């Protein structure tokens, strides 16, 4: 198959303008098979827009996307059967109960896992007698996640899956996502602004800021490759070129996020007298870049 | 594709009591039509027309129901579900066709006037589908223009074309074809941007206060900071007549409550 | 057994590896002792199994662990019963460097810090 050697999700030069606002500015990226890509960005950075464009749920102003080798805007059922998507607002089929909705949707998937549905509905304490409209947002989000996981997808796309979940449910979800990726080889793309979720399960991160992809690499690399460098004002001129981010303080000192060079070495400015290099957690990195 | 599933979609994809309500409505309307047919036969030679009108209303209601299945297609599209979107479109076409053919044949056999009744039923069904699917402004305009045209016709002493008239076929085609084509076009348009709310003026009536209502509800229901549930515009809206035609009107109210609990996201 | 802090600047696979090094160096994990499977660690901490298996793989390459058929990972025989004192001290080096930097930043006298450290160590 041609799709076996290409990435399950590909964006090619995506631009999108909506109501005079540019939400995506030329996003190019790939989600490799079997990886868990965490898409982080501030509210309004364009995460949902990017996900929708990737899945063909909106027509981008320019550029395109591929899902399992097919153009996103013309997905066939063969691809949709292997794809599960949970949108940010869990409000599908409000007039059905959880059991009805899952039984109804299940008919359209060849690999539907009924045993998983039953087990998870009771484990996650979902009321099955009431219409979905009468469940809490957290419960509805969990029902949506069960729907997405029960079809045994090859590609799982979750838009802010943890937003309405409490910490216990969130941990359960992460566990499930991690196992699906690690054991079934499922490719996962999830967006979040809760960085700690991402740090547990993601193998790759992509940082979207103001419609642009600022960073896209392996999570472990991110932590090892970038650090925060503080330079006193007297060395400001010696600051390395093209840092990932740069902030000037009122006293003239600089805070930079710098990356290692090709041979794994830090920029020379690290050795300057008074310079300070700090390891960066992902959250710090996110704040430094996106602030 | 599984034909049983396709034919059953209006029932399977709907809430629990709907099949019963629909069965009851069908039974009531057919009994009504038969009663009219039976009672008026000795009194009035065109009594069969009354039965036709009753059933045309029933088919219009069924048309609204079928047209509102666009919500099912929309959910399928928003969630990238395989098969469902196509199955829904197919289900609307096949169910409409089956309803029309079966009703027309039955009524023709019972009354002995096949052609005018078949046309009358087609008009009813198409009107129902168009009511559910056409943009709000088209429906509003049509409803506004109707009494105007009626008044104009009366004042100018126009004679309408009765169903018995052979020219009624032309009237039927002239109404049904554009209504269905326009509905099909709007069906596609609604699905084109599944996540973008359609402006209320061009939104099909069946999509009011369901998914597309979201942004409006978000703005309508800010937390008031006192722990009270905010007054919900949509809840009041439920009392409006057209909202009550929707089968799932509790949703708008419930959503407001859930949003008022602080889950307002961008 | 393992303590994983996802938000620490240190990648998770490194945290696991460092802890295995320390536990094995100190003899807390004896030779032949089985380790929890990759799946168990992944489920317990809700982390990606690939991260855990990367750490196990590195530990195996270092000679800390070995893969046994049917038993999964077990602690490998270490050269010498436990590591020499200097080797074990070397494992503390990054922590000591961080500590000394912070002591300097806080401008604390060294003997005060050492006294406190001595107390913590139960001397």
Domain identity same for B187 and B219: no
In chain B, what percentage of residues exceed pLDDT 70?
Answer: 74
Domain identity same for B188 and B89: yes
Q: Quick one: pLDDT at residue B258?
A: 34
In chain C, what percentage of residues exceed pLDDT 90?
Answer: 11
Q: Which positions in chain C touch A279 (Cβ < 8 Å)?
A: 9-10
Asked whether residue B227 carries a pLDDT value surpassing 50, the answer given is no
What total of structural domains would you count in chain B? 2
Rounded CA separation C68/B254 (Å):
57
Better-scored residue on pLDDT, B41 or A187: A187
Q: What is the DSSP string of B110-122?
A: HHS-HHHHHHHHH
In angstroms, how far is the first alpha carbon of chain C from the final one?
Answer: 27
pLDDT level of residue A197 (50, 70, 90 thresholds): confident
- Hey, of A200, A279, A280, A288, which one would you mutate to test binding to chain C, going by the most C CBs within 10 A of its CB? A200
* Token pair for B190: 């609604």
Mean pLDDT for the stretch of residues A188-208: 88
Domain identity same for B183 and B213: no
Better-scored residue on pLDDT, A128 or B153: A128
What's the full length of chain A, in residues? 291
Last residue of a domain, one of B132, B167, B192: B192
Q: Quick one: pLDDT at residue B1?
A: 65
Mean pLDDT for the stretch of residues A41-55: 89
Mean pLDDT for the stretch of residues C45-52: 89
Last residue of a domain, one of B192, B218, B239: B192
Rounded CA separation A114/A103 (Å):
8
Beta-carbon contacts of C84 under 8 Å, excluding residues fewer than 6 positions away, are: none
Domain identity same for B80 and B22: yes
- Is residue B137 domain-resident? yes
Q: What is the DSSP string of C55-92?
A: HHHHHHHTTSEEEETTTEEEEPPPSSSS--HHHHHHHH
Last residue of a domain, one of B144, B167, B192: B192
Domain identity same for B99 and B222: no
Mean pLDDT for the stretch of residues B257-261: 35
- Is residue B128 domain-resident? yes
Subunits with 3+ Cβ pairs within 8 Å of C are: A
Better-scored residue on pLDDT, A160 or B265: A160
Tell me if B79 and A92 make a contact (CB, 8 A cut-off): yes
pLDDT level of residue C83 (50, 70, 90 thresholds): low
> Which chain B residue is nearest to residue A83, measuring alpha carbons?
B80
pLDDT in tens, C90-102: 878 888 888 888 8
Asked if residues C66 and C29 have their Cβ atoms less than 8 Å apart, the reply is no
Q: Which positions in chain A touch B193 (Cβ < 8 Å)?
A: 58-59
Domain identity same for B113 and B144: yes
Mean pLDDT for the stretch of residues C61-75: 85
Tell me if C48 and A203 make a contact (CB, 8 A cut-off): yes
Tell me if B75 and A93 make a contact (CB, 8 A cut-off): yes
Domain identity same for B159 and B241: no
Tell me if A92 and B75 make a contact (CB, 8 A cut-off): yes
What DSSP designation does A173 have?
Answer: H
Is C6 near chain A, with CB under 8 Å? yes
- Is residue B130 domain-resident? yes
Q: What is the mean pLDDT of chain A?
A: 87
Which domains are present in chain C?
12-75 (1.10.10.10), 85-120 (no CATH)
Rounded CA separation A88/A75 (Å):
21
Q: Quick one: pLDDT at residue B253?
A: 31
Closest by CA to A134, choosing from B228, B254, B259, is B254
Domain identity same for B24 and B128: yes
pLDDT in tens, B81-123: 998 999 999 999 999 999 999 999 988 888 877 888 888 899 9
Subunits with 3+ Cβ pairs within 8 Å of A are: B, C
Domain identity same for B122 and B45: yes
Beta-carbon contacts of B215 under 8 Å, excluding residues fewer than 6 positions away, are: B197
Beta-carbon contacts of A75 under 8 Å, excluding residues fewer than 6 positions away, are: A55, A56, A67, A83, B80
- Parent domain of B227: 208-260
Fold classified for A2-210: Rossmann fold (3.40.50)
pLDDT in tens, B145-194: 888 887 887 787 766 677 777 778 888 888 899 999 999 998 988 888 77
Most confident of A215-219, B46-50, B111-115, B126-130: B126-130
- Is residue B96 domain-resident? yes
- Which of A55, A58, A95 is the closest to B193 by Cβ? A58
Mean pLDDT for the stretch of residues A211-236: 86
Mean pLDDT for the stretch of residues A129-148: 89
- Is residue B200 domain-resident? no
- Is residue B129 domain-resident? yes
Is C40 near chain A, with CB under 8 Å? no
Q: What is the mean pLDDT of chain B?
A: 74
- Cα R_g (chain C), whole angstroms: 17
Q: What is the ipTM of this complex?
A: 0.83
pLDDT in tens, A225-254: 888 888 888 888 888 877 888 888 888 888
pLDDT level of residue B239 (50, 70, 90 thresholds): very low
Domain identity same for B128 and B71: yes
Domain identity same for B135 and B238: no
Domain identity same for B121 and B227: no
Q: How many beta carbons lie within 10 A of that of residue B181, not counting itself?
A: 11
In chain A, what percentage of residues exceed pLDDT 90?
Answer: 35
Asked whether residue B224 carries a pLDDT value surpassing 70, the answer given is no
């Amino acid at each position: 198959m041609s799709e076996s050697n290409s990435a399950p999700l590909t964006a090619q030069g995506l631009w999108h303008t909506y109501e005079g606002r540019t939400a995506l500015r030329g996003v190019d990226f790939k989600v490799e098979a079997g990886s868990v890509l965490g898409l982080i960005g501030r509210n309004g950075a364009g995460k949902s827009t990017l996900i929708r464009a990737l899945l063909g749920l909106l027509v981008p102003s320019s550029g395109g996307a591929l899902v399992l080798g097919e153009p996103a805007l013309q997905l066939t059922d063969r691809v949709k059967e292997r794809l599960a998507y949970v949108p940010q607002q869990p409000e599908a089929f409000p007039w059905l109960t959880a059991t009805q909705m899952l039984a109804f949707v299940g008919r359209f998937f060849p690999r539907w896992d009924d045993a998983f549905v039953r087990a998870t509905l009771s484990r996650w304490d979902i009321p099955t007698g009431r219409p979905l409209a009468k469940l809490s947002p957290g419960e509805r989000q969990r029902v949506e996640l069960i729907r997405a996981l029960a079809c045994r997808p090859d590609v799982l796309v979750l838009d802010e899956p943890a937003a309405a979940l409490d910490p216990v449910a969130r941990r359960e979800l992460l566990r499930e996502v991690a196992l699906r990726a690690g054991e079934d080889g499922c490719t996962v793309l999830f967006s979040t602004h809760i960085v700690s979720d991402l740090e547990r399960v993601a193998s790759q991160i992509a940082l979207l800021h103001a419609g642009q992809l600022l960073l896209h690499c392996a999570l472990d690399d991110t932590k090892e490759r970038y650090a925060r460098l503080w330079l006193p004002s007297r060395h400001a001129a010696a600051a390395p070129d093209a840092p990932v981010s740069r902030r000037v303080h009122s006293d003239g000192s600089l805070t930079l996020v710098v990356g290692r060079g090709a041979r794994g070495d830090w920029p020379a400015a690290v050795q300057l007298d008074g310079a300070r290099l700090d390891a960066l957690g992902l959250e710090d990195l996110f704040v430094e870049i996106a602030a | 594709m599984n034909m049983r599933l396709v034919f059953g979609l209006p029932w399977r994809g709907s809430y629990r009591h709907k099949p019963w309500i629909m069965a009851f409505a069908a039974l009531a309307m057919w009994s009504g039509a038969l009663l009219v047919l039976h009672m008026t036969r000795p009194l009035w030679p065109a009594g069969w027309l009354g039965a036709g009108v009753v059933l045309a209303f029933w088919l219009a209601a069924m048309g609204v129901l079928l047209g509102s299945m666009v919500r099912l297609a929309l959910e399928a599209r928003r969630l990238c579900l395989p098969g469902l979107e196509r199955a829904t479109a197919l289900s609307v076409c096949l169910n409409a066709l089956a309803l029309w053919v079966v009703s027309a044949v039955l009524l023709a056999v019972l009354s002995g006037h096949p052609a005018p009744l078949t046309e009358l039923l087609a008009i009813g069904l198409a009107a129902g589908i168009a009511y559910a699917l056409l943009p709000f402004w088209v429906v509003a305009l049509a409803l506004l223009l109707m009494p105007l045209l009626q008044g104009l016709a009366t004042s100018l002493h126009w004679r309408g074309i009765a169903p018995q008239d052979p020219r009624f076929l032309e009237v039927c085609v002239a109404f049904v074809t554009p209504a269905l084509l326009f509905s099909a076009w709007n069906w596609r348009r609604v699905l084109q941007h599944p996540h973008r709310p359609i402006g209320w003026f061009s939104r099909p009536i069946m999509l009011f206060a369901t998914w597309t209502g979201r942004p409006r509800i978000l703005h309508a229901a800010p937390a008031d900071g006192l722990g009270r549930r905010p007054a919900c515009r949509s809840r009041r809206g439920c009392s409006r007549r057209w909202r009550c035609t929707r089968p799932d009107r509790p949703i708008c109210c419930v959503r407001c409550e859930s949003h008022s609990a602080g889950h307002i996201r961008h | 057994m393992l303590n994983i802090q996802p938000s620490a600047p240190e990648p998770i696979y490194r945290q696991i590896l460092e802890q295995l090094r320390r536990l094995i160096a100190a003899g807390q994990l004896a030779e032949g002792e089985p380790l929890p499977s990759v799946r168990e660690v992944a489920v317990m901490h809700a982390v990606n199994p690939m991260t855990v298996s990367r750490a196990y793989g590195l530990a195996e390459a270092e000679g800390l662990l070995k893969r046994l058929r049917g038993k999964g990972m077990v602690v490998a025989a270490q050269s010498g019963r436990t590591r020499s004192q200097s080797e074990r001290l070397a494992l503390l080096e990054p922590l000591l460097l961080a500590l000394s930097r912070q002591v300097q930043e806080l401008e604390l006298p060294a003997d005060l810090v050492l006294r406190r450290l001595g107390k913590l160590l139960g001397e």
